[in-house]
Structure 1
Amino acid sequence: MPDREDDMTVAEGPRLQLDEIQGIVLRDRPSPYVGMYILLRVDDSGTGRQLMGRLAELVDSAADWWQPTLPALLNVGLTYRGLEALEVPPASLNSFPAEFRQGMAARAEFLGDTGESAPARWEPPFGNGQVHVVLSLLAADQESLAVVLERARQAHARLPGIQVVHRQDFYQLSTGRTSFGYKDGIGNPTIEGSGAAMPPAWGPALKAGEFVLGYPDQTGNLPPMPEPEVLGRNGTFVAWRKLHTRVAAFRKYLHDNAGSPDEEELLAAKIVGRWPSGAPLILASERDDPALGADAQRNNDFHYQEADPHGAICPHGAHARRANPRDSEIIGDVHLHRMIRRGTNYGPPLPQGVLTDDGADRGIVFVFIGTHLDRQFEFVKSQWLNDGNFTGLDREKDLLTGDNDGTGIFTIPQRPVRRRLHGVERFVITRGGEYFFLPSIGALRWLAHPNA
């Protein structure tokens, strides 16, 4: 479980109802871990409501997430179609935000899910209304995972109206790195009132309402909340995406645009904004620093504007700088677009040094958590990753995750003449995705009897 160093501060703020909030919202995962997403379709509203009642007794809350005796962790979310399948009253259904009601597939063009990533090419059952419930099962090892799998099996046993429509295994490498080879999970915001240890990092702890419904957000207001209050309060929203990573193509692109392995590694750091270890380019400008990358006290404690206003160290178009511009000079308040990310790996890693595709399906299951799907996830995806205007890069997209088509460019500021890479192709392909609502534990009980 996460270390809680004595010299770290704790995120203060309004007291949150931790025993009502699902654990995945506020707590880091154990490391390393294995897990499975199980996607369900509800064919009978009565058995679907029975399932919600059973899950309410099994879901792990933020209050007990850090207890080391837990063999495995279970969380649950529902799509809008899932809420409909449970026959949630129309007044409650209509109280959900428009983007959630429409679903991710309907928002595809806005999100850049076009071409190879278009919903018409997604794996079934994504985007066709067949996904109603997601169960997230997480454990430190396969033996412990088997325990929670049995819990989940028993929860929907003898409920013939519930069908499993998809299973997705996932895992974390012992290095904590993604399929592209870079350490992940760095830079998530600290949330007021969560009780989480707060290592040094740019910016203050953020208001709980950015990530949990029923509390003030960064604007000082309460985010719009599904009704009745028992349904909305202490819940949140999730953008779940299965992203295939073209690792060999990315490696070959680096190889073709660099003159040596060392140049390849530096070029990749310019593109990502961090070195493979997680060390930020802004603090390690010439070579990787594994000790820095592993040090939670230092690897997120930096600014851009005061140290690198022109992007000479870390380009403005680097993935990490786009996804979290920190103090960079941009229009608007950066804090309004912060996200909790819970990405994880699926599929076998591509062996080191291989530049040709082996045909295996590998990638990242990306999970966004927040109360504003529109101004958090959708804004960052459409404006910061798929557009360059916010940072003076015109139509230049994020090289690593943008919806590039082979004609893209990537600019690296340097003297006397900037360097510009051409022919940027799409290195991440969307295989499917859904918007989920993560209800509180009390809301799960309400969903068992929504018309009572």
Structure 2
Amino acid sequence: MALVELDDIQATVLRYRPEPYYGTHVMLHIDDVRAGRDFLRDLTPHVASAADWWQNKEPWIAVAITYSGLVALGVPDDSLQSFPEAFRVGMAARARELRDDGVNDPLHWEPDFGTGVIHLAVSVFSDSEDSWRRTMDLARRHYDGRQGLTVLSTHDFGAQPGDLNPLGYRDSIGQPAIEGSGVDPLPGQGPAIKAGEFVLGYPGESGVPLPSPQPDILGRNGTYVGLRKYQSQVGAFNRFLHANARTDDERELLAAKLIGRWRSGAPLTLAPDHDDPALGADPLRNNDFTYAADPDGRQVPLGAHMRRMNPRDTKMAILADANIHRVIRRSTTYGAPYDPGALSEADDRTPHGLYFLFISAKAMATMEFLQQEWINNGNFMSLGDERDPNVGVQQPGATFTIPRDPVRRRIHGIETFNVLRGGEYFFLPSLSALRWLGTRQ
């Protein structure tokens, strides 16, 4: 087993999002190469590493860089060309491969996203409002008013009652176990996945490391991050539940069937008939299951979001190794809490949603696979053109199938409940790489 250099890897790669959580994503533009390098040099001592990540409760700062940001920092051309093509051209340019069409087309994205002007993302994560504000003040002192650096936008997140997302679910359950990360897998995680699937410089599941940016000090212990900002259509979601279920209990069961978990996080495999909040809150139990006893999806529909994103032992019509398609998720919620009484079209326009952050040593290829095959297609589960009910882009008349005896139920009129409002690919350098970038002449 390869020893993972935790003290050189940024904390965000391994440290779980706290509960409760507070934080901010700040998007920056580099106007002057010297100013960009000086900023990294000054901020890097405050960027947390993944050392002892499983017991560290302190707030932390993370720094990620787009391809255009590496250009703005004056990274040599031979190094720039060593990055994957999908990273170099950016998420918006890969819209076709990501199936980002219709309402998710980059033409509809918020300003700055997908234009190349975002160079740096500075993120702060904390478990309390006070420590979040103190850590934000520390980070702000390094970028606010610095000549040659422009603040494009700030995005606060978190502070939701019960840490629920805008559609009312507890999320970020079921992270992959990583070999050499310092902790044993939790029940239900399965064998640890090779570190090279998530961090550059280590063997992956194939037994060899993935190609890494050069020189080695730039690439090793780094990884890639994809950020996708979704706006949740809470009114459309609630209208769908009301149109297809008569009582509150029936609506809650339908909501659970869409995701594969009750809103508390309790999986349908372990709580098939009613919610169990204690189970949902228990990390030693809430992910400890397989689909062996549910091959036809009578408990968890084959097209449920959770089953699509991690099929586990489900027998798939189109075979794929789930381990090489896993991502580390650091999703964060923004805006007003979920309101079960929100039913109008005006409620769909309320600015609340989630920042879906996914981390992988091959984040671009993995996300394109997931978007093409598991999210916006149903063939791998013999579901035809059905799409993921949570983040899929739905077509007119779209359906969702709930297997049951004696006859399956096909629900029509499912809509796109989370609309993409922007996205970027980032490189998350190691601490050594940040120092190298900040001190180059």
Q: TM-score, normalised by structure 1?
A: 0.93
Partner of 1:422: 412
Matched, 1:86 2:73: yes
Following superposition, the deviation at residue 367 of structure 1 comes to 0.2
Secondary structure at 1:57's aligned position in 2?
Answer: helix
Aligned counterpart in structure 2 of residue 328 of structure 1, from 314, 322, 330: 314
User: Which range moved further: 218-227 or 152-161?
Assistant: 152-161
Report if aligned partners of 2:175, 2:189 keep a CA contact under 8 Å in 1: no
Structure 2 unaligned blocks of 5 or more: none
Matched, 1:166 2:153: yes
The 5 A counterparts of 1:228-267 are 228-267=215-254
The 5 A counterparts of 1:15-94 are 15-63=3-51, 65=53, 70=58, 72-94=59-81
Aligned counterpart in structure 2 of residue 124 of structure 1, from 103, 107, 111: 111
Report Cα offsets for 1:367-400 as digits up to 9, x if no partner.
0000012442221122101111111111111122
In structure 2, C-alpha distance between the alignment counterparts of 1:68 and 1:230, rounded to whole Å: 26
Matched, 1:213 2:200: yes
Secondary structure at 2:114's aligned position in 1?
Answer: coil
Secondary structure at 1:361's aligned position in 2?
Answer: coil
In structure 2, C-alpha distance between the alignment counterparts of 1:308 and 1:131, rounded to whole Å: 45
Structure 1 unaligned blocks of 5 or more: 1-12
Following superposition, the deviation at residue 206 of structure 1 comes to 0.8
Report Cα offsets for 1:210-232 as digits up to 9, x if no partner.
11100111111101100000000
Report Cα offsets for 1:145-173 as digits up to 9, x if no partner.
22222221222356311000011010142
Matched, 1:367 2:354: no
Report if aligned partners of 1:78, 1:438 keep a CA contact under 8 Å in 2: yes
User: Which range moved further: 39-48 or 136-145?
Assistant: 136-145
User: Which range moved further: 86-95 or 254-263?
Assistant: 254-263
Following superposition, the deviation at residue 64 of structure 1 comes to 5.4
Secondary structure at 1:84's aligned position in 2?
Answer: helix
In structure 2, C-alpha distance between the alignment counterparts of 1:191 and 1:240, rounded to whole Å: 21
Partner of 1:398: 388
Report Cα offsets for 1:160-210 as digits up to 9, x if no partner.
110000110101424122111111111000111111353201421111111
Partner of 1:5: none
Report if aligned partners of 1:23, 1:62 keep a CA contact under 8 Å in 2: yes
In structure 2, C-alpha distance between the alignment counterparts of 1:69 and 1:378, rounded to whole Å: 33
Aligned counterpart in structure 2 of residue 224 of structure 1, from 211, 218, 222: 211
User: Which range moved further: 438-447 or 278-287?
Assistant: 278-287
Given the superposition, is the C-alpha separation of residues 68 and 225 from structure 1 closer, same or farther in structure 2, using an over 3 Å criterion?
Answer: closer
In structure 1, C-alpha distance between the alignment counterparts of 2:118 and 2:155, rounded to whole Å: 13
Q: TM-score, normalised by structure 2?
A: 0.96
Q: How many residues align?
A: 437
Partner of 2:122: 135
Matched, 1:311 2:301: no
Aligned counterpart in structure 2 of residue 271 of structure 1, from 258, 277, 285: 258
In structure 1, C-alpha distance between the alignment counterparts of 2:309 and 2:32, rounded to whole Å: 41
Secondary structure at 1:231's aligned position in 2?
Answer: helix
Partner of 2:279: 292
Counting aligned pairs with the same residue, the percent is 49
CA RMSD between the two structures: 1.5
Partner of 1:411: 401
In structure 2, C-alpha distance between the alignment counterparts of 1:400 and 1:362, rounded to whole Å: 15
Report if aligned partners of 2:144, 2:151 keep a CA contact under 8 Å in 1: no
In structure 1, C-alpha distance between the alignment counterparts of 2:400 and 2:55, rounded to whole Å: 45
In structure 2, C-alpha distance between the alignment counterparts of 1:33 and 1:312, rounded to whole Å: 35
Matched, 1:376 2:363: no
Aligned counterpart in structure 1 of residue 88 of structure 2, from 86, 93, 101: 101
In structure 2, C-alpha distance between the alignment counterparts of 1:161 and 1:190, rounded to whole Å: 41
Secondary structure at 2:123's aligned position in 1?
Answer: strand
Report if aligned partners of 1:243, 1:429 keep a CA contact under 8 Å in 2: yes
In structure 2, C-alpha distance between the alignment counterparts of 1:368 and 1:172, rounded to whole Å: 21
In structure 1, C-alpha distance between the alignment counterparts of 2:164 and 2:39, rounded to whole Å: 35
